[in-house]
Amino acid sequence: MKSFQIPADMAGKKVIRACISVFPTLTPARMHKALRHKDVRVNGKRITSDVAIDEGDVVELWVPNSFFDATQVLPDGRVLDDYKVVFENDNLLMINKRQGLAVHPGKGTVGDTLIDLIRNDFRNPNIDLCHRIDMNTGGIVMLAKNKASLEHAVALFKHNHMTKRYRCLVLGTPDAGAACICDDDTLMLEIKAFLEKPTRGNVFIHDIPSDNDLPITTRYRVLTTYRGIGPDGEDVSELEVELVTGRTHQIRAHMAHIGHPIIGDGNYGRNRINKHFESPLGGKVRYQQLFASSLIFAGIPRDNMHYRLSGRKFSVEPLYGVKLES
């Protein structure tokens, strides 16, 4: 815990601004997170919003010392930044973002988002997202530096010149599906179903379609199996997953539907199972263990400004937030 008293020249400031003035390595995103977790106190009372403070107020931050580091370091020495640049040229950026960072502002979003950080850090207000991933999913996100680049990048998605792959940790070892060979000759299992998307809330997966259901196809392969580390001695498997269709929450909902929920998934997983797994930072696992791990480009026509990416694959290693030893 760290604390400080508000001097006269800080009177009237909001608590986030005051904390950053005293501890320059803090960021607005970290402070908003601390407020959400009720880790900030003013005069001994917990606060959850960015309130104004007065001279003489005592601000307390009930957080670990690593909270004040310029970067967060996991127990095994890995560094957790908001994002890292995977690839950059004159028109594109590929970013590896951390879990818990929203890619863009939305309902309920507080603090800086990925697009806010990138536009500020690269001093380019025209940078925009080519696609999106969930706030609690980490991994690769592609951004365009200008309007023309964005239009050509969107065409890659539309005409299937780019494949997205994910890696995740699931309960058990799935074996459902028919064998298939992907465009890069990777052997996977392919499962199909139908997705119901309500106007709000979780999606639902059905084996037999109902009105307005959307067909979905998911491919996967088992990379590693961790024996007997589940709450009842179940195995946990790391999967590589390829989206043939890209529906809302498709991987999370589809894996849960076949009986192998993603570890840490609070919406489609099982709370009793999630509570069993611990984070390397202490406490239970905080996010669904799902990462956008690869972008694969193929068959891009020469009239697309990104054609030189054809035949290239960009990959990142997942930074799983769960202990995998039994």
Q: Is a pLDDT exceeding 90 seen at residue 84?
A: no
Q: What pLDDT is stored for residue 69 in this prediction? A: 66
Q: What pLDDT is stored for residue 70 in this prediction? A: 58
Instruction: Tell me which H or E stretch contains 288.
Output: none
Q: Is a pLDDT exceeding 70 seen at residue 108?
A: no
CA distances from 75 to 79, 80, 280, 318, 321 (A): 9, 11, 7, 16, 11
**Can you tell me the distance from the alpha carbon of 190 to that of 105, in angstroms, rounded to the nearest whole number?**
34
Q: How many CB atoms are closer than 10 A to CB 109?
A: 14
Domain boundary among 51, 70, 89: 70
Assigned domain for 143 exists: yes
CATH label of the domain that carries residue 46: 3.10.290.10
Tell me, what amino acid is at 44? G
Q: Is a pLDDT exceeding 80 seen at residue 325?
A: no
Terminal C-alpha separation, the chain: 32
Do 6 and 135 share a domain, yes or no?
no
Per the structure, the complete domain to which residue 208 belongs is given by 79-315
**Can you tell me the distance from the alpha carbon of 322 to that of 281, in angstroms, rounded to the nearest whole number?**
9
Q: Is a pLDDT exceeding 70 seen at residue 116?
A: yes
Do 66 and 119 share a domain, yes or no?
no
Q: Find the mean pLDDT for residues 125-147.
A: 95
Domain boundary among 39, 70, 101: 70
pLDDT in tens, 282-316: 778 889 999 999 999 999 999 999 999 999 999 99
pLDDT band at 33 (very low <50, low <70, confident <90, very high): confident
**In angstroms, how far is CA 318 from the centroid of its own chain?**
10
Assigned domain for 326 exists: no
Q: Find the mean pLDDT for residues 251-279.
A: 94
Name the pTM for this structure: 0.76
- Residue of 318, 175, 294 lying closest to 242 (CA atoms): 294
Do 96 and 20 share a domain, yes or no?
no
pLDDT in tens, 175-220: 999 999 999 999 999 999 999 999 888 999 999 999 999 999 999 9
Q: What pLDDT is stored for residue 105 in this prediction? A: 85
Sign of CA dihedral 198, 219, 128, 153: negative
**Can you tell me the distance from the alpha carbon of 323 to that of 238, in angstroms, rounded to the nearest whole number?**
13
CA distances from 118 to 124, 142, 195 (A): 8, 11, 33
Do 101 and 127 share a domain, yes or no?
yes
Q: What pLDDT is stored for residue 31 in this prediction? A: 84
Structural domain total, the chain: 2
Assigned domain for 325 exists: no
Assigned domain for 127 exists: yes
